[in-house]
């Protein structure tokens, strides 16, 4: 829900998104806006969001979240991301949850 063309803590829905990490400082996650090279440009977008994290210590976690403002996606069959890893072969999870106080979420491992 964002093309990251403007440096902002709001996504295309004018809602918040940010990084998070465990409260014991075992891991970290940082977000950066980076200018794409000509070869990296997707659909003419000049900038991308770079996510750097380290969750290698036991108990560490971190990631990026985005508020979709209760967007109803029930009529859709697919959710699409364009992700480019640093080396290739990186693994990460996508977690989907309804309201922030929802008791459960659906997790997908991407590799």
pLDDT per position as a tens digit, 5-48: 566 666 667 778 888 899 888 999 998 888 877 666 666 677 78
Distance from C-alpha of 6 to C-alpha of 74, rounded to nearest angstrom: 29
The answer on pLDDT for 2 being more than 70 is: no
Whether 53 shows a pLDDT value over 70: the answer reads yes
In tens, the pLDDT along 60-111 reads: 988 888 887 777 878 989 877 777 777 888 888 888 777 667 777 788 887 7
Question: What's the farthest any 2 CA atoms get from each other in the chain?
Answer: 43
In the prediction, which pLDDT does 101 show? 72
Would you list the domain boundaries of the chain?
Answer: 17-84
Q: Is there a contact between 99 and 108 (Cβ–Cβ < 8 Å)?
A: no
């Amino acid at each position: 829900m964002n093309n990251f063309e403007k440096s902002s803590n709001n996504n295309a829905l004018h809602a918040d998104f940010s990084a998070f990490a465990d409260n014991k400082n075992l891991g970290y996650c940082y977000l950066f806006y980076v200018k794409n090279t000509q070869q990296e440009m997707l659909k003419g977008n000049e900038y991308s969001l770079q996510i750097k994290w380290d969750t290698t210590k036991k108990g560490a976690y971190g990631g990026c979240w985005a508020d979709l403002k209760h967007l109803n996606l029930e009529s859709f069959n697919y959710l699409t991301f364009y992700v480019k890893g640093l080396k290739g072969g990186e693994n990460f999870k996508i977690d989907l949850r309804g309201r922030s106080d929802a008791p459960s979420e659906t997790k997908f491992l991407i590799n």
